[in-house]
Structure 1
């Protein structure tokens, strides 16, 4: 009995201290539990050396006190169920000792049964402890698992906060970069508009000499016919002052005056159309389409470009060939934009032929040809072909890129073909294609829907 009680007290105290972690959580209870172990050890020694019946009642009081403490003190409630395993052993041993004390004879008759009951209660206690210990380990494992999950959740929450902060900082950075890019884009657009306007002014400068040459012819006619008309009027006045007036001569003079005025009107309109064309070319495009005669537009800009180049270089000369389809009809286009396209193509063609001429090639005659055709009921085609130096194959895929030019620095902005391509494809829904062979020819083809 004493050894069993000692083992029960010893292992129960150890179990309580370990399970409840009394050394950290309940230092005062931990000292009392250690004292209980010392008392139990002392009682065991007393039983061995003194062999007194008094100690067994102390064991009963000690076990009952520990069970009572487990049920009455809230700090020990987590280990309360473990004492259920000890209960049967305490009750049976207490019952046997009381019967032995009060009715010794009866105890002798049931002693074997009491000992068997104590043995089974001890086995029950040990089995219950093992099961409880196993459950405790499972619960501890589950607790540790929950603790790990909580720790992981805490770490994840901390990481989420950090990520949200990083995302917020990155978003602010991207917003700042976006604003900077938008500002840069706005500045680039403004710069592009300025460069486009400069390109227009540059092409207008190229036209100026040609326009001066073209406008001089009708002005000469106007001046000449005006002078002749003044002389005819003076002659008519003299004839009317005569007493024998010649009616036939007067009619003839009046007819000449009428004819002169018609020619003055014709050449005045010609000069007016040239000036209007110059103004249209210089001002910003309205993007409003008008039905115009492509043949007349191409012929006019071809001569303006040619005479403009000759005004800058008297040695320049080229053969101009035109093959216009008389059944072309009028096409709805933006006149200013289409004029810029034609001027760019003609200027580039003349430049290519002049560069080839400067190589000193024998029997070379610079030639620029303009052809218009109606391909079908919905498309017209305008070709500008020159027998100049051609375009190298290595740069052919770059010719429509903004600011790309094969001309020497200061002789080209690199926007002419880029603007022409955008005007034809985006502005008019057409095509601008090129066919070339280096050293032989270049031919640009414009296809427009009618």
Structure 2
């Protein structure tokens, strides 16, 4: 019932405002409780023959309801809250004076003012009203010291009833206001918790979507890259079959007519072919292994890894992946790999994902620039590795359009992307940054608009 009455005074458009609805309910509830408290006090005022107090309580209750109605029909909340607090600031000293000054129960209500202000306007406003309450108390104290303590307007014989009822009413009012606040806060916390759980689930789904997207890029590259060693395996297998047929033909001849020198040459060729088949078979197996490592969930165990091999593998796969989607695309891929680069302990699948993402972004950038048909422009990506004093550096640079200075600080933020809608999740660089950070490294970016971008990974030993 109380909830329905509360929501009646909330502007209809604010009933749909989500988290802000809590503060609206608290504001309306405080005014309703104040109005009810004032109206209930009228009967007591009549009982103890304090007519002036009764009239003041009636006026206060009516003002509370009028402010609520005005708020419901368009009065700004900032104005409404100021009117309410101003009404309290005026009525409390008058009530205290009518009840006997600073020694009356109404004087204690001065410090209800900052409490109510905190509930409906916030901490900063509460400070102002706290100072104002202190000045009101000092003002009443000075007034009494100059002109004497006022005589109470109620029947002195019923002072005990008045004091008991006033204290009980004040405490009940405070309790109900705090109960409304605490109930609202509990609901808000529960709402936040539910939203947080939903956000975590959504984030997990988006991260998985980003991983699957990068897996798709990897698979496209693998499909192209694995074709080369398989072609070699098929070709050398066919040639080897022909050589075996030649040996069989020689074997069918009489021993005196056999050309043993030819047989030995064929056997040597067969041995060489088998070595090449084995080599390219291992190459195909290595590519498949990398794909499986990329797709499986990481065990969290770091292993010593040759960064040159890993970087070369993933950048080439990225290039072939883009070529698989756009046959017309071409870029000059340069490798500046430091010789004798020490192995580092990493999660290969995770660092591979970072390299794949950086390469994908670089190739996308140069392909977009190439669509502008700039005279003399040749898309280029350079992969470099370097041994440093504390570890190694891997850099992926391109000669694409570069990153505007205005958005450079945003590129590692989750969901930020410069790609058209549907072309990216905006999580690639964010995840890459987190992966490198989890490895104790740093991912940095340098870019000059119109000239290109360099992403640098710094890993320590």
TM-score, with length taken from structure 2: 0.62
Q: Deviations over 1:291-343 (max 9, x none)?
A: 11111111111111111111211221111111111121211111111111111
How far the C-alpha of 1:383 sits from its partner, in A, is 0.8
Matched, 1:396 2:408: yes
Match of 1:207 in 2: 218
Classify the secondary structure of the residue corresponding to 1:249. Answer: helix
Distance 1:315 1:153 in 2: 91
Q: 2:425 aligns with which of 393, 405, 413?
A: 413
Within 5 A, what are the aligned runs for 1:7-406? 155-156=166-167, 158-242=169-253, 243-244=255-256, 245-376=258-389, 378-406=390-418
1:394 offset after TM fit, Å? Answer: 1.0
Q: For the structure 1 residues 151 and 313, does the alpha-carbon distance in structure 2 shift closer, same or farther, using more than 3 Å as the test?
A: same
- Change in Cα spacing, 1:160 to 1:317, as seen in structure 2 (3 Å) is same
SS in 2 for 1:408: coil
C-alpha change, 1:158 and 1:344, in structure 2 (3 Å) is same
Distance change (3 Å), C-alpha of 1:234 and 1:181? same
Distance 1:149 1:229, change over 3 A: farther
| Deviation of the 1:284 alpha carbon | 2.7
Give CA-to-partner distance per residue, 1:29-61, whole Å, 9 cap, x none: xxxxxxxxxxxxxxxxxxxxxxxxxxxxxxxxx
Distance 1:165 1:369, change over 3 A: same
> What is the distance in 2 between the residues matched to 1:157 and 1:324?
82
| Deviation for aligned residue 1:395 | 0.9
1:162 to 1:304, Cα distance in 2 relative to 1, 3 A = same
Q: Which residue number corresponds to residue 78 of structure 1? A: none
**1:229–1:175: structure 2 CA closer, same or farther, 3 Å change rule?**
same
**What is the CA distance between 1:399 and its match in structure 2?**
0.6
Return the alpha-carbon distance in structure 2 between the equivalents of residues 240 and 333 of structure 1: 56
In 1, the alpha carbon distance for the partners of 2:348 and 2:222 equals: 17
Distance 1:207 1:217 in 2: 16
* Alpha-carbon offset, residue 254 of structure 1: 2.2
Displaced runs of 4 or more, over 4 A: 147-158
Per-residue CA distance 1:136-163 (angstroms, 9 max, x = gap):
xxxx99xx99x98997687456434443
Query: SS at the partner of 1:332?
Result: strand
Q: Which residue of 2 aligns with 1:424?
A: 436
Name the counterpart of 1:31.
none
Residue aligning to 2:444: 433
Residue aligned with 2:333, SS: strand
Q: 1:284 to 1:152 in 2, by over 3 A?
A: farther
Q: 1:413 to 1:246 in 2, by over 3 A?
A: same
Q: CA RMSD in A?
A: 2.5
**Structure 1, residues 237-278: CA drift from partner, whole Å, max 9, x if none?**
222232223443333322222221121111111111111212
Q: Give the distance between the partners of 2:341 and 2:424, measured in 1 at CA.
A: 33
- Between the aligned partners of 1:212 and 1:148, the Cα distance in structure 2 is 94
Larger Rg: 1
Aligned residue number for residue 448 of structure 1: 459
In 2 relative to 1, CA 150–319 (structure 1 residues): closer, same or farther, beyond 3 Å?
A: farther
The secondary structure found in structure 1 opposite 2:226 is helix
Q: Which one is further off, 167-176 or 217-226?
A: 167-176
Q: Which runs of 5+ in 2 are unaligned?
A: 1-150
Aligned pair count? Answer: 307
- Measure the CA separation in 2 of the matches of 1:153 and 1:321: 89
CA-to-partner distance for each residue in 1:161-192, whole Å, 9 max, x for gaps? 44344334433332222222222111111111
TM-score, normalization by structure 1:
0.64
Q: Give the match's secondary structure for 1:320.
A: strand
